[in-house]
Amino acid sequence: MTRVILMLIFFVLCNTGGELAMSYGVKQVGEPESFRPMALLRFIWAAARNSWLWVALPLLAASFYSLLILFSWAPVSVVIPASASNYIVGTFGAKYLLKEDVSFKRWLGVILVCVGVTVVLLTGRS
C-alpha cells in the first residue's frame, strides 16, 4: 500500500508540475500574433526554445508512465479519484506558483469538476 501511495503522490506531482511548467513557459513566450500558419510555426518554435517546456515534457512523460504503473498496482477506484485530484493540486499550484487569482467561484467550479470527473469515470457508461 505504501508504494501505491508514494506512486500516487509521484504521479500527481509530475502531472501538475509538468502542466504548470508548460503554462509558465508558454506565458513567457507570449500568445501567437495570429492564427496564420507562419505565426503558429513561429509560436511553436519559440515555445520549443523555452527551457520550461523541456522541464514540462519529462515530467508529463513520467506522469503518463506512473499512471500506467498505478493501473497495474491498484484498483481503478483508487487510481481515478487520485488522478482527478490533479484539478485541486493544479489550482493550488496556479495560485501559489503562477500567482493566479483564484476566486471562490473558481474554487467551487474546480471542486465540482473534480468530483464530477471522479463520478463519471467510476460509473462507466452502463
Partner 1 sequence: MSHEHRLRFKTLVMVLLMVVCANTGDLMLARGMKQIGNVEISVPGLRHALLSTIQSGSIWIGILFLIGFTLCYMTAVSWADYSFVMPAGAFGYAVQTMLAIVVLHEVVSPKRWIGVAMICVGVLLVGQTKPNTTNPGPGVTGL
**Binding positions for partner 1, rule: CB under 8 A:** 19-20, 22-24, 26-32, 40, 43-44, 47, 87, 90-91, 93-95, 98-103, 105-106, 108-121, 123-126
C-alpha to C-alpha distance for 66 and 29, rounded to whole angstroms: 29
Identify which of residues 66 and 118 has a Cβ nearer to partner 1 in the complex: 118
Q: Distances from the Cα of 7 to the Cαs of 44, 69, 116, 118, in angstroms? A: 32, 8, 24, 19
In the complex, minimum distance from the CB of residue 87 to partner 1, in angstroms, rounded to a whole number: 6
Look at residues 60, 49, 61, 41 and name the one whose alpha carbon lies nearest to residue 25. Answer: 49
- All three cell numbers of 60, joined, read 508529463
In the complex, minimum distance from the CB of residue 57 to partner 1, in angstroms, rounded to a whole number: 10
Identify which of residues 26 and 78 has a Cβ nearer to partner 1 in the complex: 26
